[in-house]
A and B are shown apart, each in its own frame.
Chain A
């Protein structure tokens, strides 16, 4: 388990991390999301010691990440594979040699039958068995990231850190990479920490997510709880929720559906029971891993507010009035 406690860091005169505390459990896929400049990548780099932090603690299974203790840090880095936005493969090495590289840093033989078997198994796992001897420049972006994933797994890590790993890829390719990460998490039990600014990534694979803004954690929890009904202004701005073109007259009221609530025809039920017509002026359905979550905005007559709210409360529908 990774424990981040009150971590701060500043570059020159700017505070990048302002007291971050997060717990990351074993075997989960944890997302760190936020605008660029929120400090997410810096935080990730602090976890595996690529970057130092000024105060607070980061511990991995109780052992502190300490840049002064080079030997211990190296051992820790061995337990954490990392992949990057820019893939960062060596241009002059082929796929096999790139995957084998971390083993060389650890003085392991890469030409024994066991090593060969392991490297080829990882290349197969990421689906590149046809490209074993291709050079990076012959590969597409998605394939390069797959090589980077195999490379990150070659030292048998317990953690996989992903720094904007899909930000340079198009949506279809991103899906493939996310499915691969999910498979790695499930089959190998590797804890995955994903830093991203893409909602899609969090929605598709993260079990838990921390929203970072301005070097602080605004909110931590399940993505569906955080993003379907965000209370924080910053998170809403980030999601760019709601149309700017909601009706000026009447009251706009937002309804949220998750879990069971999805199955009921609430709006038509309400319309019939109250004998009113409602204007649906905005709606959205979102997939979070297996579940679908939805929200919609109704425009109602202010006089109907009490009866509408009464109905919604009776049927356990979460709602809020959108302030103008």
Chain B
């Protein structure tokens, strides 16, 4: 049992780590565009903002389990196969990008507009304001968003087990539920609870440290 669970935990870590990393990098770009083109942004542009906003909303409203199925051809294109732990990183990342884009947009737009005006009054360029004011001031809030993302990705990774992704959630369902091994169910649950707690505590600690 220890071996099975340890292997599954590693798979969960693997899926969550890579999908977090990719989605944070890829979600940062639309977040920046949304922030810039928002009505209160540095380059307000209603058309760009509304279109991008619509796309983000569409992807966010897809139930993950359906996204998983729809993306099978795309996943095969990217990683060469549609089943397995690595393959499940693709749908996890795709579902997380619009989520993190929204969360980052919210974090960035919370920046005090007075500080932005002060930077402009000193002759800062838009790019300088973006990096030195928006992003720099928002780092603790964005970090909170990443913690939120990791925790929901742990949940989604359990569903990814259905396409052979493996992981703790997969074990809980296959052994605990389908084979009536209650001990597996309990151990898996405890591990997930402890994992989420640890991530949240780490997040809170870092938020305090950084702000």
CB pair B120 A88 closer than 8 Å: no
Known contacts A77-B123, A106-B123; is-contact A84 B137 (Cβ 8 Å): no
> Which residues, 20 to 62 on A, are CB-close (under 8 Å) to B?
48, 50
CA distance A305 to B20 in the complex (A): 88
CB pair A84 B118 closer than 8 Å: yes
CB pair B117 A88 closer than 8 Å: yes
> Which residue from chain B places its CB closest to the CB of A89 in the assembled complex?
B115
B137 to chain A: which residues have CB within 8 Å? 90-92
CB pair A50 B132 closer than 8 Å: no
B97-132 to A contact mask, C-beta < 8 Å, 1/0: 000000000000000101101111111110010001
- Closest Cβ–Cβ distance, residue B191 to chain A (whole Å): 35
CA distance A49 to B103 in the complex (A): 33
> Which residue from chain B places its CB closest to the CB of A102 in the assembled complex?
B122
- Closest Cβ–Cβ distance, residue B111 to chain A (whole Å): 9
- Closest Cβ–Cβ distance, residue A28 to chain B (whole Å): 21
A contact patch SS: mixed
B211 at interface, CB cutoff 8 A: yes
> Which residues, 134 to 176 on B, are CB-close (under 8 Å) to A?
136-137, 139-140
CB pair A50 B133 closer than 8 Å: no
> Which residues, 172 to 200 on B, are CB-close (under 8 Å) to A?
none
CB pair A84 B117 closer than 8 Å: yes
CB pair B121 A50 closer than 8 Å: yes
CB pair B119 A82 closer than 8 Å: no
- Closest Cβ–Cβ distance, residue A97 to chain B (whole Å): 10
A82 to chain B: which residues have CB within 8 Å? 118, 121-122
B210 at interface, CB cutoff 8 A: yes
> Which residue from chain A places its CB closest to the CB of B122 in the assembled complex?
A102
CB pair A88 B123 closer than 8 Å: no
CB pair B114 A105 closer than 8 Å: no
CA distance A90 to B115 in the complex (A): 7
- Closest Cβ–Cβ distance, residue A244 to chain B (whole Å): 39
A68 at interface, CB cutoff 8 A: no
CA distance A48 to B122 in the complex (A): 9
CB pair B118 A105 closer than 8 Å: no
User: Which of A82, A101, A148, A151 has the largest count of B CB atoms less than 10 A from its CB?
Assistant: A101
Known contacts A101-B132, A104-B132, A105-B128; is-contact A88 B122 (Cβ 8 Å): no
Known contacts A89-B115, A90-B137, A92-B137; is-contact A74 B123 (Cβ 8 Å): yes
A86 at interface, CB cutoff 8 A: yes
CA distance A81 to B140 in the complex (A): 29
CA distance A88 to B140 in the complex (A): 18
B121 to chain A: which residues have CB within 8 Å? 48, 50, 77, 80-82, 161
B118, B123, B139: the one within 8 Å of A92 (CB): B139
CB pair B122 A155 closer than 8 Å: yes
> Which residues, 118 to 159 on A, are CB-close (under 8 Å) to B?
148, 151, 155
A48 to chain B: which residues have CB within 8 Å? 121
CB pair A90 B136 closer than 8 Å: yes
> Which residue from chain B places its CB closest to the CB of A86 in the assembled complex?
B114
B63-100 to A contact mask, C-beta < 8 Å, 1/0: 00000000000000000000000000000000000000
A93 to chain B: which residues have CB within 8 Å? 136
CA distance A155 to B125 in the complex (A): 16
CB pair A88 B132 closer than 8 Å: no
CB pair A77 B115 closer than 8 Å: no
CA distance A84 to B120 in the complex (A): 13
A197 at interface, CB cutoff 8 A: no
CB pair B115 A105 closer than 8 Å: no
B112, B117, B132, B139: the one within 8 Å of A105 (CB): B132
Known contacts A92-B136, A92-B211, A105-B132; is-contact A77 B122 (Cβ 8 Å): yes
- Closest Cβ–Cβ distance, residue B143 to chain A (whole Å): 12
> Which residue from chain A places its CB closest to the CB of B136 in the assembled complex?
A92
Known contacts A84-B114, A90-B136, A90-B137; is-contact A101 B210 (Cβ 8 Å): no
CB pair A88 B211 closer than 8 Å: no
A104 to chain B: which residues have CB within 8 Å? 128, 132
B112 to chain A: which residues have CB within 8 Å? 86, 88, 91
B115 to chain A: which residues have CB within 8 Å? 88-90
B125, B128, B133, B140: the one within 8 Å of A90 (CB): B133
7 contacts between A and B (CB under 8 A): A88-B112, A88-B114, A88-B117, A92-B210, A148-B118, A151-B118, A155-B122
B-binding residues in A (CB < 8 A): 48, 50, 73-75, 77-78, 80-82, 84, 86-93, 101-102, 104-106, 148, 151, 155, 161
A-binding residues in B (CB < 8 A): 112, 114-115, 117-125, 128, 132-133, 136-137, 139-140, 210-211
**Apart from A89-B115, A151-B118, 19 more pairs, CB < 8 Å:** A48-B121, A73-B123, A82-B118, A82-B121, A84-B114, A86-B112, A86-B114, A87-B114, A88-B114, A90-B133, A92-B136, A92-B137, A92-B139, A92-B140, A92-B210, A93-B136, A105-B125, A105-B128, A161-B121
